[in-house]
Amino acid sequence: MSASTRRMPFVDTLKAIASQLIVLHHLAFYGPMSDIAYPLAAGSIDWLYEYGRMAVQVFLVVAGYLAARSLAPAGIPADIAPIRQIWARYCRLALPLFVALLLSIISAAIARQLMDHPSISAAPTPWQVLSHILLLQNLLDHEALSAGVWYVAIDFQLFVILIVSLWFARKRANPAFMAPFLITVLAAAALLHFNRQDNWDNWGLYFFGSYALGIAAAWVGQPRRATGWSLLILSLTVIALLLDFRLRIGIALGTALLLVVSGHQKLNARWPDFRLMAWLGRISYSLFLIHFPVCLLVNALMFHFAPHSPALNLMGMGLAWLLSIGAGALFYYGIEARIGRLLAGASRSTTKQTGTA
């Protein structure tokens, strides 16, 4: 979910819509406000509870799309320095996450004073905090300190899988064949096996089919060979859906096809020209990180002061949504963007010292 160096309005719009759905899903899923407000908005809350989480598929596809455009345009691996690039990706994802986790721990401590509810995590242990820093909390079966932390870990795993695959392909005699071949094999394994096994849902391979669809979308319209591999990945997805229909994979396929059409029509660089969507897309990762502690605090306050008012709690859900967007903007300009500039400066400094282009 990192920003692209060159803004693509269509991609920003996808991220904007998906991020809003994730916030609303968590408002429906966590905390007592949705339970109390349920009689007034049962249908909407049920829909967000059940389907809002599917917006994660949009992020997975977009992440694969942007990564492929940067690391393997036309299916040919660019210069790959796996350790440096993996470390850079980790810093890009994890440094803002650390700040958000600190705010989540503080918010949970305050919320525990105002209500007793399962959505509040217990005071963390040092080992639990370390597992979050290493993005291993789900693999070690530790309680998450904030909603959505699992996705950051999955995004990082997917990037590592892609980098290692491209690095390996670049070492072979024919990298232009080997890179898309490996991606296609991994996509087939994910779509036909791993994504059908729930016990794999803490591992990147479970989600690699959606990620590969983003890669395929980036390769369509490139030289004939890359387009051929893209069509093969898209065909494998259709076969996987015929064998075992999964709505999440269907949404991923639909997102990839939208990216294909937008790229073919040259829309991704100029449409929609809507500043609000561009802005919401830009702050989407910050919103993703910071919305849970904001929503948790609003839940706690509403439960403490208005535990029996469906109307006030429905208004509280709306207020939490708006406050989350505001907090996401503050977090983006105050934390994420600054970290991004620091990392970019460090990268340029390293490049000059090593004398690489």
* Distance between CA atoms of residues 299 and 111, nearest Å: 8
Alpha helices in the chain (DSSP H): 9-29, 33-37, 42-51, 56-71, 82-114, 126-133, 149-170, 175-192, 204-219, 224-243, 247-264, 275-282, 284-305, 310-331, 337-354
Assess contact for 105 and 96: CB atoms under 8 A: no
pLDDT given at position 221: 76
Domain ranges in the chain are 9-351
For the CA atoms of 327, 330, 331, 335, the dihedral, rounded to the nearest 10 degrees, stands at -170
Rounded Cα gap, residues 274 and 214, in angstroms: 23
- Return the CA Rg of the chain: 21
CA–CA separation, 328 and 332 (whole Å):
6
d(CA 312, CA 37): 8
pLDDT tens track, the chain, 357 positions: 444 446 788 999 999 999 999 999 999 999 899 999 999 999 999 999 999 999 999 999 999 999 999 999 888 998 889 999 999 999 999 999 999 999 999 999 999 999 988 888 889 999 999 999 999 999 999 999 999 899 999 999 999 999 999 999 999 889 989 999 999 999 999 999 999 999 999 999 999 999 999 999 999 877 667 888 899 999 999 999 999 999 999 999 999 999 998 876 667 677 777 889 999 999 999 999 999 999 999 999 999 999 999 999 999 999 999 999 999 999 999 999 999 999 988 776 655 554 543
pLDDT value at residue 224: 66
User: Residue 253, SS3?
Assistant: helix
pLDDT for 349 equals: 63
Strand, coil or helix: 30: coil
Measured distance CA(120)–CA(31) in Å, rounded: 8
Token pair for 334: 């105050």
Give the pLDDT confidence score for residue 357 in this predicted structure. Answer: 38
Alpha-carbon separation of residue 347 from 34, 69, 89, 234 (angstroms): 45, 20, 12, 36
